[in-house]
């Protein structure tokens, strides 16, 4: 009995002691630039592509623009709105949601907080009953990418440099956003090699399909087995399984969103890079400069919003003739002579 | 106590009150203090001030109406899943399927809400949706119940595996038949919205708290009545304590298991109302977000008592919402670790403190 009260006393003393052990208050935010809040999707950070790109853009803005950037990674679905709202209610200058899943919450909050700027990476434009596109609120900037254009170019690379009439594609969640990658890729393959065949696999129909490396490896192994030499993945961290399969079987993979060479050095032919980092940085810069406007901002080849990696690492994997051909294609797309489809 | 004039079998009222107080207060106090000390060390390891982190946590949860509303919203779902797991454990069956039962209930409620014509009044539509949610969750719960009673299949394995089956089926169903393009959710339901707390008090504006909380509290009261005041509840507890003895006393253990798991699933299923009718007005894939699994911890910390479950749900809801608020100072994973520390502290220290209390009393007697 007495021992219990002694235990309570000791614990209480330890707790109070530890409370006083650290004299500093909350770490003060430094910087004089705009205050920015970035909310990732559940389990998004650490995907080494899309979400981490937004993180890079935010930290770069903190470093070079003096922006005070807060990052929130929600623990569950209902926290997405809570995270955005927390930042909006605190009077942030810009609140940014990373991923199409934030679309509804961003739209609602932008109407509710007309003085706060909002931006949504991959914001999905909704259509009304009559089929007309509903524009986002005037304080909301929809950062959209023409992924199909970059995918077209890596499709051409896969067909020209892969050495097989069969090329592979691994998608994450089976949704229109990912179909854009597939459609552009297929068009790129077919443009340079009309009798080629594209093998397509999707990891699932839920957001889980973007973080399932086991499934990614399974699909990739079966495609390599079927004679594919190169696989382009658009599947978040599911793609880590595709790289694993490429390394194991000595084949090639094409990364997505960011330069993914480091995931399987020597086996990453190139990566279809999506400029999430510059787009996020640009949104913060526009808030700082006072010329932030709502509406859709579309980033494609012409804006350097999408592209492919060609550097000292993978130069050996892409012959000069292929490189020249792909650069020619890039110019033709920018000039509008090639129309890249964005739907299957 | 040794000098008491009364016989040992009739302890003095004052001593009895004191003993009851010690028994109810000391175990959670010890557990909380252990958790706090470990929390202090964790926060210090991140180079932050524990006092600052705790203050931010309280400010973001109980410190303003919005935070409080969010806490109450999360408490609602966790109360349902906690009660669901608790009623199973009272009958001696461990339901790990609350996650998929919650999702199935939410989906069933959304289907009924979408099917009802627009003119149906809320007073009719909401009970219909609640009934659908209970049926949806209860149907999922019935499967492990029947398999256990008829074939002796262990309910832990069945409920775990059913989570995958049910969630995959729901996702397939919604993704292929119902969803709005470029989203993961069904169209919006226009009938049977549950009133928000902010409708009654404007200060709660923006928070998701809604009248489903009242349903959750009613469910807790009803479950307490059922468990401790009805014959069926007595049978259920008897089977939970010792199935063979209960069978000998004329109770069908198999029947009780089926009933308990169906009730468990139904309670978890009604929890789906909180999100589907109270918050978003649509069913979205993955809305359960682990609340079903956290229900196990809630039941454990609440010691399978309806009142305890409500309090434990409040604690975990506070930690979850507070986790968002302190995100600026410490990583999200630290909050998850802290939740686990709370669970461990309760699991280890509560029985231990009770044992010490009881043995101390025996020595005194």
Average pLDDT of chain A?
A: 89
With CB atoms and an 8 Å threshold, state whether B34 touches A126. Answer: no
- CA torsion through residues A159, A164, A165, A169, sign: negative
pLDDT at A41 over 70: yes
Q: List, edge to edge, every strand of the sheet that includes A252-257.
A: A197-204, A166-173, A230-234, A252-257, A268-274, A306-308
| Burial class, B261, CB count within 10 angstroms (exposed 0-12 / middle 13-18 / buried 19+) | buried
A147 burial level (CB within 10 Å; 0-12, 13-18, 19+):
buried
Q: What is the pLDDT of residues B305-357, one digit of tens each?
A: 999 999 999 999 999 888 888 887 788 788 889 889 988 988 888 888 888 88
- SS3 state of residue A252: strand
Q: What is the mean pLDDT of residues A174-184?
A: 90
Q: ∠B202-B207-B211 over CA atoms, to 5°?
A: 80
Q: What is the Cα–Cα distance from B42 to B54, expressed in whole angstroms? A: 12
Shortest CA distance from A10: residue in chain B = B33
Phi and psi, residue B79, nearest 5°: -65, -45
The CATH architecture annotation of domain B66-326 reads: Orthogonal Bundle (1.10)
DSSP codes, B241-266: H-HHHHHHTT--HHHHHHHHHHHHHH
Chain A hits for B291, Cβ within 8 Å: 76
Cα A68 to its chain centre, rounded Å, is 22
Which sign, positive or negative, has the C-alpha torsion B330, B336, B342, B344?
negative
- Which alpha helices (DSSP H) does A27-173 contain, by range? 50-64, 79-89, 103-112, 147-161
- For residues A41 and A99, the answer to whether their CB atoms sit within 8 Å is yes
Reply yes or no on whether the pLDDT at A169 is more than 70: yes
Tens digits of residue pLDDT in B280-297: 899 988 888 889 999 999
- Per the CB < 8 Å rule, is A79 touching B30? no
| A-interface mutation test, from B21, B49, B341, B351, most A Cβ less than 10 A away | B49
**Mutation target among B38, B41, B100, B184 for the A interface, most CBs of A within 10 A:** B184
Judged by a CB distance cut-off of 8 A, whether residue B286 touches chain A is: yes
Contact (CB, 8 A) for B108 and B231: no
B276: number of CA atoms within 13 Å, CB side? 34
Of residues A81, A61, A80, A78, the one with CA closest to residue A69: A61
Of B73, B172, B364, the CB nearest to A205: B172
Q: Which of B32, B175, B182 to mutate to test the interface with A (most CBs of A within 10 A)?
A: B182
Tell me how many degrees the CA angle B57-B59-B65 measures, rounded to the nearest 5: 125
| Residues whose CB falls within 8 Å of the CB of residue A301, separated by 6 or more in sequence, listed in order | A146, A149, A150, A153, A307, A330, A333, A334
A65-91 pLDDT, tens digit per residue, is 988 888 888 877 778 888 898 888 888
With H, G, I as helix, E, B as strand and everything else as coil, classify residue A33: coil
Are residues B206 and A112, on separate chains, in Cβ contact within 8 Å?
yes
Instruction: Judge contact between B223 and B306, C-beta under 8 A.
Output: yes
The CATH code belonging to domain A35-145 is 3.40.50.2300
Contacts of A81 in chain B (CB under 8 A): 208
- Ranking A118-132, A153-167, B84-98, B247-261 by mean pLDDT, the lowest is A118-132
Q: Are B324 and A71 an interchain contact pair (Cβ–Cβ within 8 Å)?
A: no
The CA–CA distances, whole Å, from A64 to A37, A277, B58, B298, B350 equal: 17, 14, 34, 46, 52
Cα–Cα nearest to A123, from A70, A76, A84: A84
Whether residue B166 lies within 8 A of chain A, CB to CB, comes out as no
Q: For residue A28, list its beta bridge partners.
A: none
Q: Which chain B residue shows the shortest CA-CA distance from A179? A: B182
Q: Which helix (H) or strand (E) holds A191?
A: helix A176-192
Contact state of A75 with B34 under an 8 Å Cβ cutoff: no
Q: Where in chain A is the domain with CATH 3.40.50.2300?
A: 35-145, 147-274+310-335
pLDDT value, residue A26 = 47
pLDDT at A198 over 70: yes
The DSSP secondary-structure symbol of A172 reads E
- Let me know: does B265 contact B101? Beta carbons within 8 Å: yes
d(CA A154, CA A163): 14
What is the value of pTM for the model shown? 0.82
Find out whether A85 and B206 touch, Cβ atoms under 8 Å.
yes
Cβ contact A75–B37 (<8 Å):
no
In angstroms, how far is the first alpha carbon of chain A from the final one?
73
Sheet with A94-98, side-by-side order of all strands: A68-72, A35-39, A94-98, A117-121, A140-145, A295-299
* Across B72-78, average pLDDT: 96
Return the residue in A44, A74, A82 with the most chain B beta carbons within 10 A, the one to mutate for interface testing.
A82
8 Å CB contact of B356 and A3: yes
Q: Which fold has domain A147-274+310-335?
A: Rossmann fold (3.40.50)
CB contact under 8 A, A27 and B285: no
Q: Which residues of B touch A23 (CB under 8 A)?
A: 49
Least reliable range by pLDDT among B32-46, B96-110, B124-138: B32-46
| Cα angle: A70, vertex A71, A74; to 5 degrees | 135
Return the higher-pLDDT residue of B266 and A50.
B266
Q: Do A15 and B206 count as a contact with CB atoms less than 8 A apart? A: no
Give me the mean pLDDT over the A278-294 stretch.
91
Under a CB-based contact definition with an 8 Å cutoff, are residues A212 and A239 in contact?
no
State the pLDDT at residue A29. 53
DSSP-assigned beta bridge partners for residue B293 = none
Indicate the SS3 state at residue A230: strand
DSSP per residue, B95-141? ---HHHHHHHHHHHHHHHHHHS-TT--HHHHHHHHHHHHHHHHHHHH
Residue B4, pLDDT > 80, answer no
A235 vs A151: CA distance, rounded Å: 13
């Amino acid at each position: 009995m007495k021992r219990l009260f002694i235990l309570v006393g000791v614990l209480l003393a330890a707790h109070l002691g530890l409370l006083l052990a650290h004299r500093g208050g909350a770490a003060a935010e430094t910087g004089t630039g705009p205050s920015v809040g970035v909310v990732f999707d559940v389990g998004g950070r650490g995907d080494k592509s899309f979400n981490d790109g937004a993180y890079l853009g935010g930290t770069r803005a903190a470093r070079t623009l003096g922006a005070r950037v807060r990052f929130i990674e929600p623990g569950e679905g209902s926290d997405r709105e809570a995270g955005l709202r927390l930042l909006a209610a605190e009077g942030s200058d810009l609140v940014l949601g990373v991923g199409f899943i934030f679309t509804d919450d961003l739209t609602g909050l932008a109407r509710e907080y007309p003085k706060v700027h909002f931006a949504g990476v991959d914001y999905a434009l909704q259509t009304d009953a009559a089929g007309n596109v509903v524009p986002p609120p005037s304080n909301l900037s929809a950062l959209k990418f023409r992924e199909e254009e970059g995918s077209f170019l890596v499709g051409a690379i896969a067909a020209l440099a892969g050495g097989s009439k069969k090329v592979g594609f691994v998608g994450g969640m089976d949704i229109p956003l990912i179909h854009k990658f597939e459609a552009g890729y297929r068009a790129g393959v077919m443009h340079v090699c009309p009798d080629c065949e594209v093998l397509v696999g999707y990891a699932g129909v839920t957001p889980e399909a973007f973080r399932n490396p086991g499934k990614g490896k399974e699909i990739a192994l079966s495609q390599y087995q079927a004679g594919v030499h190169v696989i382009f993945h658009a599947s978040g961290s599911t793609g880590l399984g595709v790289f694993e399969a490429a390394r194991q079987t000595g084949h090639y993979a094409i990364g997505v969103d960011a330069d993914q060479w480091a995931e399987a050095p020597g086996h990453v032919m190139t990566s279809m890079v999506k400029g999430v980092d510059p787009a996020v940085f640009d949104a913060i810069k526009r808030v700082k400069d006072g010329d932030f406007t709502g509406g859709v901002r579309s980033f494609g080849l012409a804006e350097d919003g999408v592209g492919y990696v060609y550097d000292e690492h993978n130069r050996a994997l892409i012959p000069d003739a292929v490189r020249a051909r792909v650069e020619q294609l890039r110019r033709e797309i920018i000039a509008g002579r090639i129309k890249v489809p964005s739907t299957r | 106590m040794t000098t008491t004039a009364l016989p040992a079998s009739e302890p003095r009222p004052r001593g009895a009150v004191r003993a009851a107080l010690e028994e109810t207060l000391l175990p959670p106090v010890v557990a909380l203090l252990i958790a706090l000390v470990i929390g202090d060390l964790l926060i210090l390891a991140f180079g932050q001030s524990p006092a600052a982190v705790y203050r931010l946590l309280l400010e973001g949860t109980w410190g303003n109406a919005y935070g409080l509303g969010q806490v109450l919203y999360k408490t609602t779902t966790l109360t349902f899943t906690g009660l669901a797991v608790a009623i199973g454990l009272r009958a001696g069956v461990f339901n790990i399927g609350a996650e998929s039962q919650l999702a199935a209930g939410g989906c069933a409620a959304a289907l009924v809400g979408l099917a009802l014509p627009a003119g149906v009044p809320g007073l009719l539509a909401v009970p219909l949706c609640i009934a659908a949610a209970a049926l949806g969750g209860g149907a999922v719960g019935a499967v492990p119940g029947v398999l256990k009673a008829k074939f002796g299949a262990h309910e832990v394995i069945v409920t775990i595996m059913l989570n995958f089956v049910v969630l995959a089926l729901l996702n397939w169903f919604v993704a292929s038949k119902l969803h709005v393009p470029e989203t993961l959710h069904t169209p919006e339901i226009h009938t049977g919205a549950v009133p928000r707390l902010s409708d009654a008090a404007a200060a709660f504006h923006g928070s998701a708290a809604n009248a489903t909380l009242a349903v959750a509290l009613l469910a807790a009261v009803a479950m307490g009545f059922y468990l401790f005041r009805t014959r069926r509840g007595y049978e259920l507890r008897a089977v939970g304590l010792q199935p063979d003895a209960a069978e000998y006393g004329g109770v069908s253990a198999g029947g009780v298991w089926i009933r308990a798991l169906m009730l468990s699933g139904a309670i978890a299923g009604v929890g789906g109302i909180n999100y589907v009718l109270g918050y978003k007005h649509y069913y979205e894939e993955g809305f359960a977000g682990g609340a079903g699994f956290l229900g196990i911890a809630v039941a454990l910390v609440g010691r399978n008592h309806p009142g305890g479950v409500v309090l434990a749900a409040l604690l975990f809801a506070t930690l979850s919402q507070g986790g968002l608020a302190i995100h600026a100072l410490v990583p999200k994973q630290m909050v998850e670790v802290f939740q686990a520390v709370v669970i461990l502290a309760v699991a280890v220290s509560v029985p231990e403190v009770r044992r010490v209390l009881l043995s101390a009393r025996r020595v005194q007697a």
